[in-house]
Amino acid sequence: QQQVKQSPQSLIVQKGGISIINCAYENTAFDYFPWYQQFPGKGPALLIAIRPDVSEKKEGRFTISFNKSAKQFSLHIMDSQPGDSATYFCAAYTTDSWGKLQFGAGTQVVVTP
Amino acid sequence: KAGVTQTPRYLIKTRGQQVTLSCSPISGHRSVSWYQQTPGQGLQFLFEYFSETQRNKGNFPGRFSGRQFSNSRSEMNVSTLELGDSALYLCASSLDWIGGGYTFGSGTRLTVV
């Protein structure tokens, strides 16, 4: 049973466009929601994270929007660049997880020049 | 500050053999988690160690085991390798298990032939 559902599976966006990736969760005990970026041959790198007491967090061109009542959160990549082409994973965590991040299935983003 | 270091980066093993993978966490990090990443199953949690104790374990057969040393370095072992064990094995570390802010290494690519 997948505890974090991520969509879309893949998306293609033009340079300068906005990439939007959505995630939904069921477990209301989750209290930490990170996004990871992974390039081929590399491990996932923490991109940005949010806790449920905040509805939005922005770091550079990356923004997380969090809707606690809907149990959904999303990643927006503004002014997408070819270097942003990667696989993005959302995840969820609670202290009771004892080190286990619950990952979404991943979204492959391709930014065309 | 050095990141999470995993060795070796690549391994080719034969079915039935066993393998040991190594992970050196970020200095000061005491929680180490291991994940298996495959195209079909995504990122799956193997286990987590803190202060040399395994505190959480994923749904993997007993052929998968691990340990953590007093300096927080960790190893995982897979015995009686099967073709399906071919995957990218990722190690992640954090100061402790509480916050969820895990940093991943680049992984060990294991190919079983």
- Spatial neighbors of A72 by CB under 8 A, at least 6 apart, are A22, A23, A24, A25, A66
For residues B4-23, give the mean pLDDT.
Answer: 98
Lowest mean pLDDT among A79-83, A95-99, B44-48: A95-99
pLDDT at position A1 is: 64
Nearest residue in chain A measured CA to CA from B100: A93
Q: Nearest by CB to A32, which of B33, B100, B104?
A: B100
Average pLDDT over residues B61-86: 97
Chain A residues with CB inside 8 Å of B46's CB? none
Q: Tell me the residue length of chain A.
A: 113
pLDDT surpassing 80 at residue A2: no
Inform me whether the pLDDT recorded for A96 exceeds 90. Answer: no
| Residue A48 with chain B: CB contacts under 8 Å | none
Tokens of B59: 């749904």
Q: How far apart are the CA of A8 and the nearest CA of chain B, in angstroms?
A: 15
pLDDT in the model for residue A98: 85
* Contact (Cβ atoms closer than 8 angstroms) between residue B103 and residue B3: yes
Which amino acid belongs to residue B111? T
The pair phi, psi for residue A95, each rounded to 5°, is -55, -35
Q: Indicate if the pLDDT at residue B1 is higher than 80.
A: no
pLDDT at B2 over 90: no
